[in-house]
Amino acid sequence: MTAQDQIKDTVTSNDVVLYMKGTKTMPQCGFSSRVAGVLNFMGVEYTDVNVLSDEEIRQGIKDYSDWPTIPQLYVKGEFVGGCDIITEMTLSGELDQLFEQKGVSYDKAAAEKIREANG
């Protein structure tokens, strides 16, 4: 299985996937930590893929999405964005809307707390 096949299989067989440096319990960079922190705080169940453990996946995910940076968030097989985009979407409420449209459960009160703390 090529890296591209593996990535496609992962993003299409899991509702929410975060390609990141490190893991959701031990992020290895600030940007990955921020996105994982948002998802963890909002109680979103997601699959984390540590790109540091596989060079082919690390490069492959950039090619797959045509996006140069990591982390990368996928919801229901669709690329959503990296750290800056996820931060903006969280603060604007767009991430809540996306989760609702896609049928992904999350803690709405936690999402509101994030916005209050950063408002």
Q: What is the residue-level pLDDT of the chain in tens, covering all 119 positions? A: 899 999 999 999 999 999 999 999 999 999 999 999 999 999 999 999 999 999 999 999 999 999 999 999 999 999 999 999 999 999 999 999 999 999 999 999 999 999 999 97
For residues 46 and 18, is the Cβ–Cβ distance under 8 A?
Answer: yes
| pLDDT for the residue numbered 78 | 97
- What's this model's pTM, rounded to 2 decimal places? 0.96
Q: Is 83 annotated as a binding residue?
A: no
| pLDDT for the residue numbered 22 | 98
| pLDDT for the residue numbered 95 | 98
| pLDDT for the residue numbered 119 | 79
DSSP string, 16-50: EEEEESB-SSSBSSHHHHHHHHHHHHTT---EEEE
Residue type, 98: L
Identify the structural domains of the chain with CATH numbers, from first to last.
3-118 (3.40.30.10)
For residues 6 and 47, is the Cβ–Cβ distance under 8 A?
Answer: no
Tell which residue, 98, 80, 68, has the closest CA to residue 17.
80
Phi, psi of 74 (to 5 degrees): -120, 135
